Amino acid sequence: MGNLLGYALDHEHWAEAQAIAQPLNEYWEVRGRYVEAAEWADRARIAVEDPGGVPPALGSPAGSLWLFFATAQATRQLYSGQLDRGERTHREILAMLQAQPDSRFRQENLAVEYHLMGSAVLEQGRLGEAEDWYMRSAALAEELGNQSRLAMCYHQLGRVAYERRRLDEAEGWYTRALAIEEEFGNRPGRALTCGQLGIVAGTRGRLGEAEGWFARSMTIQEELGDRPGLARTYHHLGIVAQDRGRLDEAEGCYTRSLAIREELGDRAGQADSYHQLGMLAQNRGRLDEAEGWYTRSLAIREELDNRAGLALAYSGLGSLAERRQDLTHALEWAVRCVALFDHVPHPGSGSGPRQMAWLAHRLGIQKLEQTWQQVIGQPLPDAVRIYVNSHRPEDSETSEGDTRE
């Protein structure tokens, strides 16, 4: 099929090229062949753009092909952790679509871009903005009668609700998505939604139910040869095993997940695996080993500039410092976590604000002021001071929170 796509591009058969590229793109995604996908995206864009790099009119066959490849590549940027770059590309595509005359083509592609804009901001912890984009996409999908797109919107609205820890709401959205996916035989969608329902069940402590959902997801992923999906499922089965206290089983799951992610070159996924292996080592009391895993995770997240991931890495290193009774360094990590976001507490900062408040009460508000100035280079914000003063933990509490992926 690659030869056919190359022939179509070389001979300017744009509609035929897109018909070939769509199933190929699904294959690249499932197999994790992201480099190959990016190379084809570059080749297609060069073929249809003018010498100055200006894309063709979006309503034309060449423009439709450009839009397909540009959107696919921007989405891969998001999932690989290049959040700012991915968002910027999607905003450029959205502006181009909004400038088009009204048509079904425009409406269908706006529904896609609204959805992808939601994903772009969701990965950065901007939950209210994400919810708005998904609702806009869902409204257009209903208007167009696009049930597949509607299921995807419901799925992502479930993710927004989950990040807010509104678990009943999240389960409701996922259940609505799954009903559509089952009705229309969308197996990749079913696998993904079953996995999310497993995460919700695991968060509620219903570990047997979680394992059941993950098993359903894995069965489909194995049938489809979905390597990235299998890596995610092994990762979450590791979390369930760790919650059950089966640490050797958890390590086996994380290691299998990591092997796939390394094979695929999935840097963001590798960071997730390193973090969980760090937590596992910390649970076993192997603190130097834990620090090594956390540090490897942090290096990738700094490289990708993933704020939500950085927050998790900082929280992990902070809990490790606290375990070592090094409260000064623990406070520094908590400050780094909280300062990533423009308000406190931010959903993307996880347990960081709670860690910071607990440590501030142990070490004193003056120590927090000094640490904030030293680490961030600015005075302690009033909003942070108010948060700390309004969150007075009991003496028996600790700051360690849930830093799992």
Whether pLDDT at 42 is above 80: yes
Mean pLDDT, residues 27-35 taken together:
77
Whether pLDDT at 76 is above 80: no
Quote the pLDDT of residue 44: 86
SS3 365: helix
More confident: 254 or 22: 254
Whether pLDDT at 11 is above 90: no
For residue 125, the number of C-alpha atoms closer than 13 Å in the C-beta half-sphere is 20
More confident: 405 or 131: 131
Answer whether residue 15 is part of any domain: no
More confident: 44 or 281: 281
**DSSP string over 279-319:** HHHHHTT-HHHHHHHHHHHHHHHHHHT-HHHHHHHHHHHHH
**168: containing domain:** 146-225
Quote the pLDDT of residue 77: 74
Answer whether residue 358 is part of any domain: yes
Distance, in Å, from the CA atom of 214 to the CA atom of 220, rounded to the nearest integer, reads: 10
Answer whether residue 345 is part of any domain: yes
* Region class of 225: left (phi > 0), else alpha (psi between -120 and 50), else beta: left
User: Which two three-digit tokens encode residue 189?
Assistant: 């969608």
More confident: 104 or 394: 104
Whether pLDDT at 87 is above 90: no
**Which residue, 173, 202, 225, sits at the end of a domain?**
225
From residue 21, alpha-carbon distances to 7, 179, 292, 329, 330 in Å are 12, 29, 42, 51, 50
Quote the pLDDT of residue 255: 98
SS3 73: helix
Answer whether residue 284 is part of any domain: no
**Which residue, 205, 225, 245, sits at the end of a domain?**
225
From residue 228, alpha-carbon distances to 117, 168, 270, 277, 372 in Å are 22, 27, 11, 18, 39
Mean pLDDT, residues 97-124 taken together:
88
Quote the pLDDT of residue 399: 54
Answer whether residue 395 is part of any domain: yes
Kindly report the pTM of this predicted structure. Answer: 0.79
Quote the pLDDT of residue 396: 41
Answer whether residue 102 is part of any domain: no
Quote the pLDDT of residue 400: 53
Query: What is the tally of structural domains in the chain?
Result: 2
Mean pLDDT, residues 371-397 taken together:
86
Q: What is the CATH number of the domain that holds 194?
A: 1.25.40.10
Answer whether residue 319 is part of any domain: no
Tell me: the pLDDT tens digits for 334-367?
999 999 988 898 877 888 999 999 999 999 999 9
Whether pLDDT at 228 is above 80: yes
Answer whether residue 259 is part of any domain: no
Sign of dihedral through CA atoms 42, 43, 46, 48?
A: negative
Whether pLDDT at 6 is above 50: yes
Q: Which of 67-71, 371-375, 400-404 is modeled with the greatest confidence? A: 371-375
Whether pLDDT at 174 is above 70: yes
Quote the pLDDT of residue 398: 54
| Confidence category of residue 169, pLDDT binned at 50, 70, 90 | very high
Distance, in Å, from the CA atom of 92 to the CA atom of 85, rounded to the nearest integer, reads: 11
**What average pLDDT does the structure give for the chain?**
90
Q: Which of 83, 185, 75 is nearest to 93 (CA)?
A: 75
Q: Which of 185, 194, 183, 198 is nearest to 221 (CA)?
A: 194
Distance, in Å, from the CA atom of 150 to the CA atom of 184, rounded to the nearest integer, reads: 12
The answer to whether 81 and 265 have CB atoms below 8 angstroms apart is no
**Which residue, 196, 225, 254, sits at the end of a domain?**
225
Mean pLDDT, residues 190-211 taken together:
97
- Calculate the dihedral angle through the C-alpha atoms of 68, 71, 77, 79, rounding to the nearest 10 degrees: -90
Report the share of the chain in percent with pLDDT over 90: 61
Report the share of the chain in percent with pLDDT over 70: 95
Mean pLDDT, residues 167-179 taken together:
98
